[in-house]
Chain A
Amino acid sequence: MTIDDLIRAALDRAAAVAPDPQRIHANLAGRMRRFHRRRMLLAVAGGMAVVLAAAAGILGWHLRPAEYTLATRPIGCHVSIFFQPDATPEQIQGSGAGLARMPEVIQFAYESKNQAYENFKEMFKDAPDLVASVHPDTLPSAYRITVRDLAAARIVIARFQSSPGVSDVVEHDCRLRTR
């Protein structure tokens, strides 16, 4: 008897001791019920997972500004949006509304021409010649914005640099004080 014959004989033997098909057939119904139940369970679990993920996402969305402020309060990275002298109040308010919707913006404040001049005078009070050379009307009105880091600053810049009424958007302090 060669090894090939022996292998064939052994495999025939395995076929001969195969389980009873009748019993398998009889057990099939229960197995199918379990299968469909499992599938249904999986579908339900999958649906629940989706709902939970969505809920977590919404919750995260609502918690996000608070986390932002907490994590970044000590860091000063600023963006200024300067308006053209002939920018309309609507254009300025529109930009303000846009800022309020941006997740990158931690806080922002409007600075009118007059306030800008007052701040300028305060900042350069040691140089009266410089102050004297600037007319109160030359300084543009602006939004002074606090953001988390340079990346956020760049998003704000990209968003507003070609908005109507805007003359210039610049970032400052970011490279000095953030990571």
Chain B
Amino acid sequence: MTFDEYVGHRLGALVRYASVVTCDPYLAEDIVQEVLVRAQSRWTKVAKLDQPEAYLKRMVLNEFLSWRRRRSARVIPLGHAALDASAEPAADRTGEFDQRDEMLRRIAALPPKQRAAIALRYYDGLSDPEIADLLGCAPATVRSHCARALNALRAAMALTPTASVPEERG
């Protein structure tokens, strides 16, 4: 598979992955471009791998967690403006969607490693050992990241007025 073929077929998935991991469309765009540029410069090696996709995802994750990005990762992304800018019809903005967007903001406010652990577990459906391998830490550390993140998210939802009536729409 050539670089152009890969980009043609799989760029969308990679961008979505980066968006979920970073919770920030702008940061995701920047990271994906950076990763693609670097992958292209040694594409012959990357293409020989069993799963180039997994390699690129890993690059995205590393770039997100790297020290160069930590400054920008600290900024709480995906505010109301970014969410409203997407093409969601106004009629769909019911309580459930509000709650979901609120949750997304809470996730975006988590520390980068916790955010990545949550994204890998809930979006990619990876197991703790797989996440540990990607993050370069022990499975126990992954469990601790996730537990802390869930605690923070639960606490945040309990404080949010919209979360007090979650059964409203089943």
Contact = CB atoms under 8 A, between A and B. Distances in A.
Mutual binders A and B: yes
Interface of A: 1, 3-4, 6-19, 21, 23-25, 27-28, 31-32, 35-36
Contact of B157 (A6, A15, A28): A6
Contacts of A24: 11, 15, 29, 32-33, 36
B53 interface: no
Interface string B107-126: 10000000000110011000
Given A14-B104, A19-B25, A21-B12, A3 B99 contact: no
Contacts of A28: 7, 33, 36-37
Given A13-B104, A15-B19, A28-B33, A8 B40 contact: no
Contacts of B26: 19
Secondary structure at chain B's binding surface: helix, strand, loop or mixed?
helix
Interface magnitude class on chain B: 35 or more
Which of B101, B119, B122, B170: most chain A Cβ within 10 A?
B122
B20 interface: yes
A9 to B, nearest CB: 5
A21 to B, nearest CB: 4
A31 B19 contact: no
A43 to B, nearest CB: 13
A3 B153 contact: yes
A91 to B, nearest CB: 62
Contacts of A6: 99-100, 103, 157
Contacts of A10: 100-101, 103-104, 107
B135 interface: no
A24 to B, nearest CB: 6
B38 interface: yes
22 contacts: A1-B99, A1-B166, A1-B170, A7-B122, A10-B101, A10-B104, A11-B119, A11-B122, A11-B123, A14-B78, A15-B19, A17-B25, A17-B85, A18-B12, A19-B25, A23-B29, A25-B11, A28-B33, A31-B34, A31-B36, A32-B37, A36-B41
Contacts of A23: 29
Nearest to A23: B29
Nearest to B8: A25
Contact of B18 (A4, A18, A25): A18
A13 B37 contact: no
A24 B92 CA distance: 28
Nearest to B106: A10
A16 B20 CA distance: 9
Interface in B1-53: 7, 11-12, 15-20, 23, 25-26, 28-29, 32-34, 36-38, 40-41
B25 A1 contact: no
B150 interface: yes
B83 interface: yes
Contacts of A3: 150, 153-154, 157
Contacts of B38: 35
